[in-house]
A and B are shown apart, each in its own frame.
Chain A
């Protein structure tokens, strides 16, 4: 998702704006897995990730006829919309959690919880979910979405140094949580 040069999605967006079904199919094939993965990594919930992804595309369909090239790349705009929707949901979760605290909180030691979740994938997903939102966002954008440091920093509205710090802290926390996988 480079920030400079021509937008590789521009032609598709123009065709979608004219109601070209082949362009719609092509954009969905190109972006749906990426947007779903982004939402899933941020939210850790399949149903919520699907809802967010569907809303991202609804907004894309509305935006396509009037999309103005130059201000931002379409992929950047999609990421921004998806992240905003994810943060809305994370905020709502926190509000609900504060209003209705869970009756029972899992206070067992991490090692015990680890024994229950033997599958590495589940362990990693749980470790990601435990990260502070901004660290999870940084790891998601750079590792899973494979954005460059400049692209990720721009999306997050931070400097590249701040992004590096968020990444390093996030990955250190993940390594500490997952250390037993290597033992």
Chain B
């Protein structure tokens, strides 16, 4: 590393060598040891800008924002009720599907089976989610 590269890094990463790319830090300290005046001056100039940047307002989270975020977070009760809703939904789904399938089968028994009715029966069974192996809790 030479002084020119040292300056380039200071211009990009600021006046604290500890915040430079890890691979460059050792060589940077070596430059500081060899040319303390010039390298020190380069760092001092970069630190001036760092200090200006640090003077910018550091926004603190408001209580209201924190509360809104916490209120939307998952809670044990919500996790349980989501599971219960899934169970209830699955139960209703199974019941409806069974009733639909029974009705369809009864209808099929009473009338001549046609390709269209077969398709309807399949649609009723598949549409109920009985054959859905994804968990069905969407």
Prevailing SS type, chain B contact patch: helix
Residues of chain A contacted by B117 (CB below 8 angstroms): none
Q: Is A143 a contact partner of B53 (Cβ separation < 8 A)?
A: yes
Contact between A54 and B61 (Cβ–Cβ < 8 Å)? no
Bound Cα distance from A148 to B78, whole angstroms: 38
Asked if B8 is at the interface of the complex by the 8 Å CB criterion, the answer is yes
Docked-complex contact A32 and B13, CB < 8 angstroms: no
Asked if residues A121 and B72 are in contact (CB atoms below 8 Å), the reply is no
- Asked if residues A61 and B72 are in contact (CB atoms below 8 Å), the reply is yes
By the criterion CB–CB under 8 Å, are B14 and A171 in contact? yes
In-complex Cβ contact of B72 among A50, A58, A139 (8 A): A58
Given A32-B65, A41-B56, 11 other A-B contacts at CB below 8 A?
A28-B73, A53-B65, A54-B65, A64-B74, A121-B55, A124-B53, A142-B19, A143-B50, A167-B11, A174-B53, A175-B49
15 contacts between A and B (CB under 8 A): A24-B70, A24-B74, A36-B59, A36-B65, A40-B59, A53-B61, A53-B69, A54-B72, A57-B72, A57-B73, A58-B72, A121-B57, A124-B53, A124-B56, A172-B11
Q: Which residues of B contact A (CB under 8 A)?
A: 8-9, 11-14, 19, 21-22, 46, 48-50, 52-53, 55-62, 65-66, 68-70, 72-80
